[in-house]
Amino acid sequence: MSIIFKEVEKNNWEECIDLKVNEEQRNFVSANWYSILQSKFEDKLYPTCIYDDETMIGFLMYDFEMETGRWELCRFMIDKKYQHKGYGKTALVEILKVIKNKLGNIKFYLSVDPENIIAKNLYKSVGFESTGEIMWDEEVMVIQL
């Protein structure tokens, strides 16, 4: 497994919007097309494709949330064809390294639907902890980079 990240660009955006999660996960994840569109109209959003070597396997987006003054992972998904193979955890570990290298030793946040137990467990497995805060009807988690 060789995880790399590439910006969403002219040559990969269509492949990115074709990535899908399983039906039971749809309520937990925004559509990639929406995230890409959002990044064109809001500042400090960084849409990123996740690859295993040359194969696109997922999508993430991180941002600086102006309302809270925090850097956060606001989108994260692995295509249904690549789930349950270790890609999610590996991609999270790798993006946290990228963020730390880019931004330094910061607190990095995310929010997760309280019913999305699989995602919460994944985030905990790489070091995120619950803050006890609820924002946008989701549980806020944080990791110190």
Contacts of 51 (CB under 8 A, 6+ apart): 3, 4, 5, 6, 57
Average pLDDT over residues 2-28: 93
Residue 129 clears pLDDT 90, i.e. is over it: yes
Return the half-sphere exposure (C-beta side, CA atoms, 13 A cut-off) of residue 109.
17
Residue 24 clears pLDDT 90, i.e. is over it: no
Structure tokens at 145: 């980079």
Predicted TM-score (pTM) of this structure: 0.93
| Distance of alpha carbon 77 from alpha carbon 75, whole angstroms | 7
Average pLDDT over residues 64-85: 95
In what helix (H) or strand (E) does residue 51 lie, and over which residues does it extend?
Answer: strand 45-52
Contacts of 133 (CB under 8 A, 6+ apart): 139, 140
| Distance of alpha carbon 48 from alpha carbon 133, whole angstroms | 27
Domains of the chain: 3-144 (3.40.630.30)
8 Å CB contact between 110 and 73: yes
> What pLDDT does residue 23 have?
85
